[in-house]
Amino acid sequence: MTAVQPLAGALVDRYGRIARDLRVSLTDKCNLRCTYCMPAEGLPWLAGPDLLTDAEVGRLLRVAVERLGVTEVRFTGGEPLIRRGLVDIVGAASALRPRPRLSLTTNGIGLDRLAPALRAAGLDRVNVSLDTLDADRFHRLTRRDRLGAVLAGLAGAAAAGLTPVKVNSVLMRGVNEDEAPALLRFALAHGYELRFIEQMPLDAQHGWDRSAMVTAEEILAALGTAFDLRPDPAERGAAPAETWLVDGGPARVGVIGTVTRPFCGDCDRTRLTADGQVRACLFATEETDLRGALRSGADDAELARRWQAAMWGKRAGHGIDDPTFLQPARPMSAIGG
């Protein structure tokens, strides 16, 4: 490591990447139990006093936007729709200047009811996770019989103007790998933008197996049997998804190949967990405690300095392919997906 210090006013790392996209987890709890994410009985949840309060989340968002150049805020979890103060937190974020773009990653349950209030509070758009269109499969995969609620949530988001509505799907071998074309047909029919995400080693059970995961290449091959896909000429920038035009466009489909096509060199993300820890990467094994600093009286300048120091140490890559790779101690649901 060099002795150079981070630039004032931005979340820069020593490889020159600048983080402008903040993922904020608002809770580690979820109302689904997706088999590839957490066990049937759930996890030891964070204790209430350990969670950032709505005001604390608001303060850290202000520091991120006003002092550190964050321009995109994505709320996630766990399931962010079950955070009681969500609408107020979104409202506080949308009052910041310069106003960040605001989005939410959700399983969609209850979104039909909440979408109008979220839109009114300033939410710009949503990503809804949906891995199957078959009700029985959905029940087995999520251990809850809620496909209808998710589909209603998607429709409610579109009706409320939370657009583009994006759909995130994870394909798993022997579970739903045959559904790639059907999911794309569904997304096209409803005007949703579909993104497939490669399964990552972030499950609480540590059951991920590189040799069993469905790769980006396999996903594209499956889609290619039913659709004409051409690389999207639009600039990718720091977007995690590579996109393709479907049947000549303008509709597109994306693949997030975190494992087999890593995009760490362009990563512009910083993460805040529901208990106030900054993470430089989903796969980081270190965290920087902002909650403790905040609760012991640190001013905004000090919080910004700590956040910058955390990002300065961001590794060049996630290292999944490195033989020394260690899965982070916290699962995806606790980090914020």
Please report, as ranges, the residues that interact with ligand SAM according to CB under 6 A.
30, 36-37, 76-77, 79, 105-107, 129, 168, 170, 197, 199-200, 202-203, 332-333, 337
Residue 12 or 81: which CB sits closer to ligand SAM? 81
> Which residues are within 8 A (CB) of 138 and not within 5 positions of it... i.e. 6 or more apart?
131, 132, 145, 146, 147, 150
Minimum CB separation of residue 220 from ligand SAM in Å reads 17
CA dist., res. 153 & res. 63, Å (int) = 32
When the beta carbons of 208 and 312 are compared against ligand SAM, the nearer one is: 208
**Residue number, 168 or 308, with CB nearest to ligand SAM:** 168
CB of 305: closest distance to ligand SAM in angstroms? Answer: 29
The CA angle 220-221-223, to the nearest 5 degrees, is 65
- Which CB, 112 or 203, lies closer to ligand SAM? 203
State the Cα–Cα distance between residues 79 and 138, nearest whole angstrom.
17
Question: Locate tokens 């009114």: which residue?
Answer: 120
Judged by beta carbon, residue 200 or residue 267, the one nearer ligand SAM is 200
The closest residue (CB) to ligand SAM is 337
Dist CA 57 CA 96 (whole Å)? 13
- What are residue 253's DSSP bridge partners? 194, 244
Question: Which one, of 237, 232, 152, 139, lies nearest residue 193 by Cα?
Answer: 232
Residue 106 near residue 153 (C-beta atoms within 8 A): yes
Nearer to ligand SAM, 26 or 60 (CB): 26
Least distance (Å) between residue 91 CB and ligand SAM? 20
CB of 140 to ligand SAM, least distance (A): 15
Provide, rounded to whole angstroms, the least separation between the CB of residue 241 and ligand SAM.
12
Report the alpha-carbon distance of residue 284 to residue 114 in Å, rounded.
Answer: 33
In the complex, the smallest distance separating the C-beta of residue 284 from ligand SAM, rounded to whole angstroms, is 16
- Residue 98, burial from CB neighbour count under 10 angstroms (0-12, 13-18, 19+): exposed
